[in-house]
Amino acid sequence: MTYIVKPVNHHPNLEKNKLGLTRRDYEGTISTLCAGCGHDSISAAVIEACYDLSISSDQIAKLSGIGCSSKSPSYFLNQAHGFNSVHGRMPSVATGANLGNKDLLYLGVSGDGDTAAIGIGQFMHAARRQLNITYIVENNGTYGLTKGQFSATNDQGSKSKYGEENVFAPIDLPTMAIQLGAGFVGRSFSGDKQQLVPLLKAAMKFEGFSLIDIISPCVTFNNHLGSTKSFDHIREHNESVSSLDFVPIGKEIKTTYKEGTKVDVPLHDGAMLTLEKLSKKYNPLDKGQAIQSLNEAEKNGKVLTGLLFINPEVKDHAEILNISDTPLNQLAEKELCPGAKKLAKINASLN
């Protein structure tokens, strides 16, 4: 038995959010990941973001595939609805869940093996459909749970723990997602809470497919010298394209960003995303430029992070499909079953 519920001791002085909840209320069970695993920092960031946004956990569905990363949803938001599905197929389960109830907030958690190898097809089609989800890839360039094989996001020439060299070029998930029309694409680093939390908040508020590719070093199998997904390597090669502020609806925008470098992006529910471009060349609203920059950065061994692309005009899957305002799982029986009278007409059409 490995499930241990942390006693939620509400310290009277703990900070509370709009719902009157403390960060503790957003925690999950105790992590069984390796001490120091990047994935745990991401769980912490998710907790932080949900706390900040004052989201009620019961309105959140957290879905995942299989892998160390895919275990993470157990380690945050105890009161959210969890679904640890099968390897690489979370996108389809999430798509179905969203069809059933478009009003929940969907957090998808996956790994680089789970998404870029076995799951790449479902990932691409979910992006293409503009599934309304915050799709988090906890990207460590390796298969943690099966003990350190190369994944498809591992960089060419990067070395395994056992000294072997990866001979294949990586699949860059953000580039793929942007190319496929995903509405919101970002990258971050599990070690950079500053950047990650606002990115997560914005993604959760975005209505459409939001990918956040988070480099999340595997301390056990891919954090050595020669690995390009180690803490050290990422810290050295990280290049942030923008600084991001998420401003909820009703709040005043008071960033100190310099005019000219500042971009304001209104989100669907009226909240605002303000960002300061750190590189003048970079425009996160331009698909072509985003892809170009990502490819160039890769060539130069840089890892671009931040909000890489956003298209605030997309419609999400439910909207594209013209699904009724009442979630499908809440339609009353009489709205669904046409009854005997209508059936008589149908019979008449068949004789």
Partner 1 sequence: MNKISSINEFVIKFANVNGSGSASANQMFAKGIFRSGIPVSPKNIFPSNIQGLPTWFEIRASEKGYLGRKAGIDFMVAMNPQSYTQDVAEINPGGYLLYDSSWKRDFKREDINIIEVPLTTLCVDEFNNPKTRLLFKNLVYIGALSYLMNINKDIFIKLIEEQFKGKEKLIAPNVQALEIGFKYAKKHLVDACKIKVNQANLTDGMILTNGNNAGGLGCVYGGATVCTWYPITPSTSLAESYKKYCDQLRVDENTGKNKFAFVQAEDELASIGMAIGANWNGARAFTATSGPGISLMTEFIGLAYFAEIPVVIFNIQRGGPSTGMPTRTQQSDILSCAYASHGDTKHVILIPSDPKECFEFSADSFDISDRLQTPIFVLSDLDIGMNDWTCPEFEWDDNRKFDRGKVLSKDDLDSMESWGRYLDVDGDGIPFRTLPGTHPEKGAYFTRGSSHDEYARYIEDGEVNARNLSRILKKFEGAYKFLPKPIFKQETNASSNGLIYFGSTEAAMQESLDQLSVSGFPIDAMRIRSFPFGPEVWNFIDQHETIFLVEQNRDAQMKTLIVSEGNVNPEKFISILCFDGSPITANFISESISDVLLNKNTSQPAEEIK
Binding site for ligand TPP (CB under 6 A): 66-69, 87, 111-114, 138, 140, 142-146, 151, 218
Q: Starting at the edge strand that comes first in sequence, how are the strands of the sheet with 272-277 ordered? A: 242-247, 272-277, 262-266
Residue 191 DSSP class: T
Binding window for ligand SF4 (CB under 6 A); candidates: 12-20, 140-148, 157-165, 248-256: 140-148
Q: Is residue 120 part of the contact set for partner 1 (CB under 8 A)?
A: yes
Q: Is residue 167 part of the contact set for partner 1 (CB under 8 A)?
A: no
Task: Please choose which of partner 1, ligand TPP, Mg ion, none residue 295 contacts, taking the beta carbon within 5 to 8 angstroms, the exact cut-off set by kind.
Answer: none
Q: Which residue is nearest to ligand SF4 (CB)?
A: 144
Classified as helix, coil or strand, 301 is coil
Quote the CA–CA distance of 196 and 201 in Å, as a whole number: 9
Binding window for a second copy (CB under 8 A); candidates: 31-39, 120-128, 135-143, 245-253: 120-128
Q: CB of residue 302 vs a second copy: minimum separation in angstroms? A: 15
Q: Is 173 exposed, middle or buried (0-12, 13-18, 19+ CB in 10 A)?
A: buried
Task: Please choose which of Mg ion, ligand TPP, a second copy, none residue 238 contacts, taking the beta carbon within 5 to 8 angstroms, the exact cut-off set by kind.
Answer: none
Q: Is residue 175 part of the contact set for a second copy (CB under 8 A)?
A: yes
Classified as helix, coil or strand, 140 is coil
Q: CB of residue 166 vs a second copy: minimum separation in angstroms? A: 11
Task: Please choose which of ligand TPP, Mg ion, partner 1, none residue 114 contacts, taking the beta carbon within 5 to 8 angstroms, the exact cut-off set by kind.
Answer: ligand TPP
Classified as helix, coil or strand, 315 is coil
Task: Please choose which of ligand TPP, a second copy, partner 1, none residue 339 contacts, taking the beta carbon within 5 to 8 angstroms, the exact cut-off set by kind.
Answer: partner 1
Q: Which residues contact 253 (CB under 8 A, 6 or more apart)?
A: 245, 247, 264, 272, 274
Quote the CA–CA distance of 109 and 73 in Å, as a whole number: 7
Q: Which of residues 212-271 bind ligand SF4 (CB under 6 A)?
A: 218-221
Q: Is residue 140 part of the contact set for ligand SF4 (CB under 6 A)?
A: yes
The DSSP secondary structure of 17-56, one letter per residue, reads: -TTS--GGGGB-SPP-SPTT-HHHHHHHHHHHHHHHHT--
Amino acid found at 173: L
Quote the CA–CA distance of 76 and 55 in Å, as a whole number: 13
> Among residues 86, 99, 171, 328, which is the contact residue for a second copy, using CB under 8 A?
171
Task: Please choose which of a second copy, partner 1, Mg ion, none residue 179 contacts, taking the beta carbon within 5 to 8 angstroms, the exact cut-off set by kind.
Answer: a second copy
Q: Which residues bind ligand SF4 (CB under 6 A)?
A: 33-34, 37, 39, 68, 140, 144-145, 218-221
